[in-house]
Amino acid sequence: MRVEQTPLKDCYIIHDTVFADDRGYFFESFNQQKFQNLTGLNVSFIQDNQSKSSKGVLRGMHYQLGKHTQAKLVRVLEGSVLDVVVDLRVDSPSFGQSFSIELTGENRKQFFVPRGFAHGFVVTSETAVFFYKCDNFYNKESEGGFIYNDKTINIDWQMDNENLILSDKDKVLPSFEEIKNILIF
* Domain residue limits, the chain: 45-179
CA–CA separation, 181 vs 77, rounded Å? 36
Identity of residue 185: F
DSSP collapsed to 3 states, 8-44: CCCCEEEECCCEEECCEEECCCCCHHHHHHHHCCCCC
Indicate the helix (H) or strand (E) that contains 85.
strand 80-87
Question: What stretches in the chain show pLDDT beneath 70?
Answer: 185
- What's the mean pLDDT when you consider all of the chain? 95
Annotated active-site positions, please?
Answer: 62, 132
Q: What is the CA radius of gyration of the chain?
A: 16
Architecture of the 45-179 domain: Sandwich (2.60)
Count of C-beta atoms within a 10 Å radius of residue 129: 16
Q: Do the beta carbons of residue 137 and residue 68 sit within 8 Å?
A: yes
In the prediction, which pLDDT does 108 show? 95
What distance lies between CA 6 and its chain's CA centroid?
A: 13
In the prediction, which pLDDT does 181 show? 82
In the prediction, which pLDDT does 182 show? 80
pTM value is 0.94
Handedness of CA 149, 63, 138, 140 (dihedral sign): negative
